[in-house]
Amino acid sequence: MGIDRSPTVTTLSVFVVVFLLEWVAVPLGLFGTLFVLTPPVAVHPWTLVTSVYAHMTLQHLLANSLGLLLTGVVLERATTRLRYHAFFLGTGTLAGVTQVTVGGTFGTTAGVLGASGAIFAFIGYLLTSNRLTDTVVGGVELSTRVQLVAFVVVAAAVTLATGSARVALIAHFTGLFVGLLAGRAHLLRVSERGSI
């Protein structure tokens, strides 16, 4: 897949364009309204999408860009552009909604933005969809319940190990957990007959 057709490069380009738009929105007082996912979600529904591609600072943008680059170029070789983008946006949105919903339950009503939930989903997918995992796990009979518990433990451990102040831990956990499940099911694998 050429660089001009790379969904990873496309997504990185969207990151940059959105970041530049944020610079215009801040002095106009529109940053939160346009880019930050906050409860109730129905008030600014477009933030379900824009929050996934928006970043608070240049450091935030660079960290997520590096994470996407490291995982995205591997994942894009195993799936189609449409599935790549749908998985990225879907898992990023789910992670963000879970963060503001569950966080709200615990009294944290702050908004969320950034691609890390989707990037953690990419990591989870790559961990459980590769040939080594298929060989090792495929040779061991584990019930669905045991696999789910194992995925929860792995997602919690990785989330806590990589967490720091002002990080959306619930979004990271959600993304990684969903990615682990999707990878085990080979959700993004393209069939022999071809598909979207």
Residue 137 lies in a domain: yes
User: Which amino acid, one-letter code, is at 129?
Assistant: S
Residue 192 lies in a domain: no
- Tell me which of 54-58, 118-122, 160-164 is least confident: 160-164
pLDDT at 34: 96
Residue 193 lies in a domain: no
Domain that holds residue 146: 3-184
Query: Is 90 exceeded by the pLDDT of residue 79?
Result: yes
pLDDT at 4: 63
Residue 33 lies in a domain: yes
Average pLDDT over all residues of the chain: 88
Q: What is the DSSP string of 60-94?
A: HHHHHHHHHHHHHHHHGGGS-HHHHHHHHHHHHHH
Residue 30 lies in a domain: yes
pLDDT at 146: 79
Q: Which pLDDT band, with edges at 50, 70 and 90, does 196 fall under?
A: low
pLDDT tens per residue, range 15-68: 999 999 999 999 999 999 999 999 888 999 999 999 999 999 999 999 999 999
User: Which amino acid, one-letter code, is at 175?
Assistant: G
Number of structural domains found in the chain = 1
Q: Which pLDDT band, with edges at 50, 70 and 90, does 140 fall under?
A: low
Residue 189 lies in a domain: no
Q: What is the CATH number of the domain that holds 15?
A: 1.20.1540.10
Residue 194 lies in a domain: no
Residue 24 lies in a domain: yes
List the one residue out of 124, 151, 150 whose CA is nearest residue 67: 124
